[in-house]
């Protein structure tokens, strides 16, 4: 199948050809036809599978099929959990919208309200936004979603992790009930996802799952390196980050304070490095990402704000200095390396305190991650035994407690029946 086989406008198909897209990915083949038929959709697909175009192409086709916009309300809305993901979606959407004479814009937190008021007053056809900031603008009386007939909720599972369940429903209440809604999630197994889908999607919504959300991309190499202590971890990290095979690296840590600490360590090795965390101003975050894309940085140290939504083509290595609390976040972190089918490497330096998370991740993935030892930096301690959850003792019934007080009852004799 090619994009020519899909029921897309000729202008849209021409744009795909000019930008080098000819063969749709698996998620695009399965999801785009029912979306073009007007069906609601609940879908999952692994990182790097072409999910963004899966909903942007039908969204643009929807805009082309509608009468020209007359008011300020957008006709298509894409909601994403983070500023970085919104910016990433806009980067894909802008050239397509420009070629089709459609206006698109983004609304995110961390930006002055006055600028966003001007954006809303200018109007747009496609709006890409975070739900929290949209509700803030609605409280100011600046937001109009009365003409939205095509809604996309991207990374719905991450939305729920960030506590956006009620904000999503509030945003949905600001637009017409008669609309088409698409929801994309890394997993469809969660009860919360099912409940959210039940609240926002029609009962006959199409369900598409391209592959297991737990699957690791086959072009990535993974390795666990055990660290005896902080000094050993530092020595391992220095050896890895100075490896000539590293083109650009994304280093994950657990907190803002650690971002600052490890940025200074990397800079001490005469390597161009900056940090990224959720408390950073939006302008600064955007600048650091642009510098990485332009090759002016070799290393970006970040919290999990960078685990999703960043498409950085030159990231060859992901290094975990702290493993994530949730096992599926490991998959998303890993997906930042080796984009567009290129090979990549994921190294995790794990100390004793972090070791139980290895077992949690391996149980989630249903596979063991390879162990790696660097010559001269081998761990001196044996690998910790896997943590096994102790079985909870069965609660004693109230009757048995009473029996202890009154004395044991005589055993009831069994009655054996003759055959």
Weakest mean pLDDT among 88-102, 145-159, 392-406: 392-406
Q: How far apart are CA 219 and CA 241, in angstroms?
A: 20
CATH superfamily to which 220-365 belongs? P-loop containing nucleotide triphosphate hydrolases (3.40.50.300)
Whole-model pTM? Answer: 0.65
> What digits encode the pLDDT tens for the residues 264-280?
999 999 999 999 887 87
Q: Could you check whether 3-209 and 220-365 share the same CATH topology?
A: yes
CATH superfamily to which 3-209 belongs? P-loop containing nucleotide triphosphate hydrolases (3.40.50.300)
List the Cα angle 19/25/29 in 5-degree steps: 110
**299-302: strand order across its sheet:** 220-226, 344-350, 315-320, 248-252, 299-302, 273-276
Rg, the chain, Cα only: 26
User: CA nearest 134: which of 91, 88, 80?
Assistant: 80
Q: How far apart are CA 303 and CA 82, in angstroms?
A: 13
Q: Do residues 173 and 101 lie in contact, with contact meaning Cβ atoms separated by under 8 Å?
A: no
Compute, in degrees rounded to 10, the torsion defined by CA atoms 115, 117, 119, 121.
-150
| pLDDT higher at 125 or 336 | 125
Q: How far apart are CA 232 and CA 34, in angstroms?
A: 53
Residue 324 clears pLDDT 70, i.e. is over it: yes
Q: What is the DSSP letter of 323?
A: -
* Domain ranges for the chain: 3-209, 220-365
Q: Do residues 103 and 126 lie in contact, with contact meaning Cβ atoms separated by under 8 Å?
A: yes
169-179 average pLDDT score: 95
């Amino acid at each position: 199948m090619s994009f020519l086989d899909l029921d897309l406008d000729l202008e849209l198909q021409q744009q795909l050809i000019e930008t080098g897209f000819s063969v749709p990915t698996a998620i695009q083949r399965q999801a785009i036809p029912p979306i073009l038929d007007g069906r609601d959709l609940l879908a999952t697909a692994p990182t790097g599978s072409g999910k963004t175009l899966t909903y942007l192409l039908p969204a643009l086709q929807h805009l082309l099929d509608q009468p020209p916009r007359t008011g300020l309300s957008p006709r298509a809305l894409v909601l994403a959990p983070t500023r970085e993901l919104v910016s990433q979606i806009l980067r894909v959407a802008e050239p397509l919208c420009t070629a089709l004479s459609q206006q698109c814009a983004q609304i995110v937190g961390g930006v002055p309200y006055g600028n966003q008021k001007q954006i809303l007053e200018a109007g747009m056809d496609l709006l890409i936004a975070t739900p929290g900031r949209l509700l803030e603008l609605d409280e100011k009386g600046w937001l109009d979603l009365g003409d939205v007939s095509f809604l996309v909720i991207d990374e719905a599972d991450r939305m729920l992790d960030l506590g956006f369940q009620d904000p999503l429903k509030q945003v949905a209440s600001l637009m017409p009930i008669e609309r088409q809604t698409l929801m994309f999630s890394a997993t469809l197994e969660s009860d919360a996802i099912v409940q959210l889908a039940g609240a926002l999607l029609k009962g006959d919504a199409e369900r598409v799952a391209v592959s297991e959300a737990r699957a690791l991309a086959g072009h990535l190499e993974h390795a666990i390196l055990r660290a005896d202590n902080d000094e050993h971890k530092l020595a391992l990290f220095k050896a890895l980050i100075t490896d000539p095979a590293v083109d650009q690296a994304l280093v994950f840590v657990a907190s803002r304070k650690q971002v600052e600490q490890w940025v200074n360590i990397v800079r001490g090795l005469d390597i161009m490095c900056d940090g990224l965390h959720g408390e950073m101003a939006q302008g600064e975050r955007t600048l650091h990402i642009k510098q990485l894309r332009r090759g002016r940085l070799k290393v970006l140290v970040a919290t999990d704000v960078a685990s999703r939504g960043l498409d950085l083509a030159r990231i060859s290595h992901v290094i975990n200095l702290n493993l994530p609390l949730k096992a599926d976040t490991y998959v998303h972190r890993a997906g930042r390396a080796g984009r567009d089918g290129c090979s990549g490497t994921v190294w995790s330096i794990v100390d004793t305190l972090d070791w139980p998370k290895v077992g949690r991740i391996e149980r989630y993935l249903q596979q063991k991650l390879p162990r790696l030892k660097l010559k001269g930096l081998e761990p001196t301690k044996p690998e910790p035994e896997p943590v096994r959850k102790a079985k909870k003792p069965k609660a004693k019934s109230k009757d048995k407690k009473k029996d202890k007080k009154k004395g044991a009852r005589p055993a009831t004799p069994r009655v054996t029946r003759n055959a």
